[in-house]
Amino acid sequence: MRSLVAAVALPALASIAVPTAAQDVSATPNFGTITLSAGFTPDPRTVSVTSGGSLSASDVGSGCAGSISNAPDVRLSYTAGSLPLIISVNSNADTTLVINAPDGRWYCDDDSGEGTNPSVRFNSPQSGRYEIWVGSYGGGNASAMLAISEVSSQ
C-alpha cells in the first residue's frame, strides 16, 4: 500500500500529524541512540531493528500506518548542514516509518522507498532530536535495517 511521503520541501505530499495518543518520545529507545552531524561517514549509517509493536501508528495521525511500540526504536541526535536527511527502512516485510522531528511534528510513510519499504526525506532538516519508529504494516514483527543518509535512500 502506498501512503503519503513526508517531505519538508514538498508540503503537498506531507503527512504531518498531531497525535491523539502520543508515543512516549522520552522513553529509552529500543535499539539505541545515534549522534550525527552533517557530512557524517559512513553514509548511510545503519541500525538493525525489529519492526512492529502493540500500538497502532494511526493513533499518531490519520496518515500513519502499521503497528509500533510505545518507545521509539531509535533516537537520532542530528546537527544539520546543507544536505538533506533521509531516513529509510529495508526489510523483506512491509514496514512503515513514524518520525517525531525536533519541532514536535510527526512524519509518517508506508511505501515511498523501494517495494514496500518506507522512506522519509527532509530536504531542509532541522538540528535536534528525531524519534524514529519502524512499524509493521500487517502486524507482527520483522527484521529490518534502518538507514540514515544525506545522499540517498537505502
Judged by phi (left if over 0) then psi (alpha if -120 to 50, else beta), residue 139 lies in left
Tally of structural domains, the chain:
1
- For the stretch 19-74, pLDDT in tens is 444 589 999 999 999 999 999 999 999 999 999 999 999 999 888 999 999 999 99
pLDDT over threshold 80, residue 16: no
Q: Is residue 132 a part of any domain in this protein?
A: yes
pLDDT over threshold 60, residue 116: yes
- What range does the domain containing 138 cover? 11-149
CB atoms within 10 A of CB 46: 16
The CATH number of the domain holding residue 113 is: 2.60.120.380
Q: Is residue 2 a part of any domain in this protein?
A: no
Q: Is residue 4 a part of any domain in this protein?
A: no
- Which whole-number Å values give the CA distances from 19 to 32, 57, 105, 111, 119, in the listed order? 23, 9, 9, 21, 20
Q: In the block, which residue shows the cell 544539520? A: 80
How confident is the model over 72-81, as a mean pLDDT? 98
Q: Is residue 5 a part of any domain in this protein?
A: no
pTM: 0.86
**Residue 22 has what pLDDT?**
56
Q: Is residue 154 a part of any domain in this protein?
A: no
